[in-house]
Amino acid sequence: MFLDMKDKKHKVEWLGMRSFSNIIVYSKSENGIGARLQAAVETVLPRVHVEKFRTISRLSERLHKPPLNFPIVVLLAMNREDLENIVAIQNLLFDSRIVLILPDRKEDTMALGHILRPRFVSYRDSSFKDVGAVLNKMINKPETVNV
C-alpha cells in the first residue's frame, strides 16, 4: 500500500495482491463440482495462497479475523439454502471482492445472489474456466481506492 502525499486525493494503491494473495474459497463439495472449482483456481493461480472452507461457520470464523488486504472470496453455492446461508453473513463480506457461483439461473436466485454485490457471477454447471480467468485478472491488477 502506498500513500502518495503529493496527490491531493491521497490515492492508495493496493499492490499487495501482486506479492501475496489472500483468496478464500467456500464450497461444501469436496469432490465433483468442488474439485472442479479447486482445479480451475490452482491451474490459473498455482502460487497463490488459497484458504478453503467447507462450512459457513468456519468461513464466518475466518472472516471475523482481520484480512491483510482486501481478500478475494470465491463462494460456490450448491443450492438455494446454501446461498441463503451465505447471504446471512453478508456483513462479513463487505470489504471482500466476491466471485459468486450460483446453483442455477433462476431469476430469484440471481436476485438473491446480487445482494452480495459480487464482482463476477458464474454458475455451478460451468467449467469454471471463466472463474479462473477472472481470478487471474483480479490478482494481477492492483486495486485502487481514493480516500
Per domain, the residue ranges of the chain are 2-146
Task: Name the grid cell of 84.
Answer: 441463503
Q: With DSSP H G I counted as helix, E B as strand and the rest as coil, what are the percentages for the chain, rounded to 5?
A: 40, 25, 35
Count CB atoms within 10 A of the CB of residue 121.
17
Rounded Cα distance between 28 and 92, Å, is: 19
pLDDT digits (tens, 9 = 90+) for 73-128: 999 999 999 999 999 999 999 889 999 999 999 999 999 999 999 999 999 999 89
Tell me 132's DSSP state: H
Contact in structure between 37 and 131 (CB atoms under 8 Å): yes
Tell me 25's DSSP state: E
Tell me 50's DSSP state: E
pLDDT digits (tens, 9 = 90+) for 11-65: 333 333 333 457 899 999 777 898 889 888 887 776 677 889 999 999 999 988 8
- What is the full DSSP assignment across 65-131? SPPSS--EEEEE--SHHHHHHHHHTGGGGTTSEEEEEES---HHHHHHHHTT--SEEEETTS-SHHH
Predicted local distance difference test score (pLDDT) of residue 58: 95
Instruction: Report pTM.
Output: 0.79
Please name the fold of domain 2-146. Rossmann fold (3.40.50)
